[in-house]
Structure 1
Amino acid sequence: MANLSGNAAYYVAAILIGAAVGLVGSAFHLGVDALAHGWPSFLDHTLGLDGVTLYAAAAVVAAVMALVALWLVRRFAPEAAGSGVPEIEGAMEGLREVHWRRVLPVKFFGGLLALSSGMVLGREGPTIHIGASIAKGVSDLMGWTARDMRGLLAAGGAAGLAAAFNAPLAAVLFVIEETRRQFPYSARTYIAVVLSSIASAIATESITGNVPFMLLVVPDVPMGMYPLFVLLGVILGAVGVGFNRTLVWSLDTVRRIGLRWSFYIFPAVVGLVVGVLVFALPEATKGGEILAVELAKEGRPLGILALIVLLRFTMTMASYSTGVTGGIFAPILALATTIGLCYGTAIDTVMPLPEHGLQALAIAAMGGLFSATIGAPMVGVVLVMELTGSYGILVPVLLTTIFANMVAQWLGGRPIYEILLDRTLALEAQASETPPAAPAPSPAAAQPQEAR
């Protein structure tokens, strides 16, 4: 009877956490949307700026937003840099500590500024970290054991992903597949994750509506196209490994710049460039969820699509390397969609694709690149289904996703969050072994300022 009572309290806590995360996550997303559209509209329509003056003003605004976002991270919560997912996985493994009191405000307001500036970052990372931080606060309040606390961290993180994309099933699978090494699996913790995801989805839907986040329905494709999806998966497997390695190289390069001169130089440059691109080439800015749907429907020329792929790849690396708050789920999905469109458009010039064939390849590419970079193929499949509503092409998406994962493993690729966590731990160990050459900085400033 005592065990039943304990389970009931645990489940109630999971539901309350999920609902809170859904509300906070929705407020975060609405705030990002409002600010991201608000400041460009103010410069363009309210102030009536144009030409060089408009570009200069936009560059300054975006740079200031990026710098303030980075200052919040470096000054108050260094662990809030980047997506935060490696931090949560590290905490579930007992390697990291979730300082929820400082992470929550920095992740919310720092993420609001960073994403609204136009940098190519995703909203899912901040909401996952926010969700886990809320769960840690509840766990501290209730005084639960370390195992129960880790279970609630997973529940809060899942609720954050559910709120980000209105994808509760993918959120549950994310815990099972992505955090399989760290999640303290039991009936109690598993049920808590499911309940928290459901509660988050209900809260999110009550505010934003029950519509797929990237609605792009493709009914079905002929079986004769299936080999094209296999080949697409092979290509994306290689792209995913290259993506992860380039991201780590970018982080290391920007860190060297920061150590030699200042950690604020590179983010300032990225902000200036992003501000100009918001008006000059908006396709190269922001998370890209809406862009992905628009591109799939518009049918742009191959050369333009290839240019967008190059620009978004470059801006994703640059944006994430700044050390501000922001995720990589959404940028990966948008990049994958554009790669799929490039692939399909190139094939269409040789042999005409069937109706909806181009859109089907674009949707399947999302799952493929997600699987190759994140290392969670089933999450990629279900996430794509929930995001687009295209359940009719489940088999093609499965083919693309699993072959991408197979090729990524064959090439020696590792899940990006695993790589980032190992990198963070290695940098901290290195910093602790190096004697300071000057008076020690404050505790917050002494921690590695890295994007997770």
Structure 2
Amino acid sequence: MARINITRKIYSYRSHAIVVATQRRLLFIIGGTGVGAAAVLMALLADHAQRLFRDLIDLFPLSALAITPAGFAVSALLARTVFPNAGGSGIPQVVAARDLPDPALREQLVSLRGASGKIIVMTFGLLCGASTGREGPTVQVGAAVMHAAGRLVPERQRGLLLAGGAAGVAAAFNTPLAGIVFGIEELSRAFETRTSGLTLGAIIAAGLTALALVGNYTYFGSTGATLPLGRAWLAVPVCAVIGGLAGGLFSRVVLLVLRDLPARGSALVRYPVLLAALCGLGVALCGFLGHGSVHGTGYEEARAIIHGTGEIGPDFAPLKFVATVLSSVSGIPGGLFAPSLAVGAGLGADLALIFDTIPVGALALIGMVSYLTGVLQAPITSFVIVSEMTENHAMIIPLMVSAVIADATSKLVCREGLYHALAAPMVARLAPRSKTD
């Protein structure tokens, strides 16, 4: 009789384990589908908002001097009052949420309310001419969707946030491999074998959803740019060093304004709405000098540089750099990926004036990887995402080399990874509550 009871208990335990495992896999599929749908929605809203703003400044070029500062002020106010924790790119919030042990505290950083606010205010910022992207915010929205889906079953592990964020990158860029690498290298800074298969399932579900809604596409279009072995490779370390230094400088300035000055109680950050308005004015001036090219994500400009289909002036890269710095330190919701890729492409185009025998498209790809690596200090993510979004396998080796050099160079200017450095104050602010509760 005792043996029968033991057998029944073993059978019951195995049955329960199978049910839980099935629920977990179903959860990641449902959540991944939601992330894919959210990514498509954000892409459509972002494109429409940018188009409306550019139509307006085409008719009234000076209107940005009023609209952009006012829009930045309203966006900053909404991000601080109506939708707390919705400011910035959203990736630091996901990193911080993964570091918090209390699910209730994580909810503050990756709630559906915050995700909704992220979409609304991000779109409003682009409508007012911000130099921001939508891909970073998709990470926070993806993590929030997956976190909410976790309520359907008893599944609240941090792997949900990792899977949601990785699926967000994959769906936003249509780059599933980059989504996996981003989850490993940037969100977790480690490989979590316990959730790797489920993360892959979420990425597949998100990618299939995006494909079903908008079809298959390559983010920047396929390019056959190559870099012949020989003297042309001299451009790789030159571009990598410049991109790494510029990206490190970007991160250092952002950390100074968003982390260091508040910690010192600086008067500059006591009036965040005013600071946002002043940043908006700076972005409007950059846009006026750049004839409107620096507003928005920079996707069209980067694509034009890669394929040589448009006239982009040599001042595009520095103006886009300044506009993105101002947009980032203003505190309004918006990401860094697309603007950083645009700055890198502009950097490569400028170097074509020196290396005039090398195809501009090849230099643009190297510049994109170099600058993005300098900003993120995530070299594998940077070269994987650029090679995958352009379907260019011939440039893999030079892109790898440029990523390694740019990463080392960036650390000379900024020793910390941007997203994790911005996440630390969030954890410090919320963690004491979990200790006292």
Give me the whole-angstrom Cα distance separating, in 2, the residues matched to 1:341 and 1:268: 31
For structure 2, the 5+ residue unaligned runs are 1-13
Task: Tell me the amino acid that sits aligned with residue 298 of structure 2.
Answer: G
Q: 2:254 aligns with which of 206, 226, 247?
A: 247
Q: Does 1:222 align with 2:228?
A: yes
Q: CA deviation at 1:81?
A: 0.8
Task: Tell me the amino acid that sits aligned with residue 363 of structure 2.
Answer: L
Give a deviation string over 1:199-228, Cα, whole Å, max 9, x none: 111111222221111125025321112332
Give a deviation string over 1:272-299, Cα, whole Å, max 9, x none: 4545665762222111121111133448
CA contact (8 A) 2:223 2:307 kept: no
Task: Tell me the amino acid that sits aligned with residue 27 of structure 1.
Answer: L
Q: CA deviation at 1:60?
A: 3.4
Task: Tell me the amino acid that sits aligned with residue 139 of structure 2.
Answer: I
Q: 1:29 aligns with which of 28, 37, 43?
A: 43
CA contact (8 A) 1:93 1:182 kept: no
Q: CA deviation at 1:169?
A: 1.0
- 1:127-166 aligned at under 5 Å gives the runs 127-145=138-156, 149-166=157-174
Instruction: Report the counterpart of residue 18 of structure 1 in structure 2.
Output: 32
Give me the whole-angstrom Cα distance separating, in 2, the residues matched to 1:193 and 1:104: 20
Q: Does 1:208 align with 2:243?
A: no
Q: CA deviation at 1:398?
A: 1.1
Secondary structure (helix, strand or coil) at the match of 1:390 reads: coil
- 1:182-193 aligned at under 5 Å gives the runs 185-187=192-194, 189-193=195-199
Give a deviation string over 1:333-365, Cα, whole Å, max 9, x none: 1111111221232222xxx33xxx321121022
Task: Tell me the amino acid that sits aligned with residue 318 of structure 2.
Answer: L
Instruction: Report the counterpart of residue 234 of structure 1 in structure 2.
Output: 241
Instruction: Report the counterpart of residue 47 of structure 1 in structure 2.
Output: none
Instruction: Report the counterpart of residue 373 of structure 2 in structure 1.
Output: 371
Secondary structure (helix, strand or coil) at the match of 1:324 reads: coil
- 1:171-320 aligned at under 5 Å gives the runs 171-181=179-189, 185-187=192-194, 189-224=195-230, 225-251=232-258, 256-257=266-267, 259-260=269-270, 262-272=271-281, 274=283, 281-298=291-308, 304-305=313-314, 307-320=315-328
For structure 1, the 5+ residue unaligned runs are 45-49, 432-452
- Cα distance 1:113–1:402, how it changes in 2: closer, same or farther (>3 A)? same
Q: CA deviation at 1:411?
A: 5.6
Equivalenced residue count is 409
Give a deviation string over 1:228-276, Cα, whole Å, max 9, x none: 213322332222222211222343698645544x321122233345456
Q: CA deviation at 1:58?
A: 3.9
Q: CA deviation at 1:56?
A: 4.8
Give me the whole-angstrom Cα distance separating, in 1, the residues matched to 2:52 and 2:246: 35
- 1:113-128 aligned at under 5 Å gives the runs 113-128=124-139
Give a deviation string over 1:306-337, Cα, whole Å, max 9, x none: x2222111111111111111111111111111
CA contact (8 A) 2:249 2:414 kept: no
Give me the whole-angstrom Cα distance separating, in 1, the residues matched to 2:398 and 2:307: 19
CA contact (8 A) 2:166 2:182 kept: yes
Secondary structure (helix, strand or coil) at the match of 1:120 reads: coil
- Identical columns (%): 26
- 1:87-98 aligned at under 5 Å gives the runs 87-94=93-100, 97-98=106-107
Secondary structure (helix, strand or coil) at the match of 2:303 reads: helix
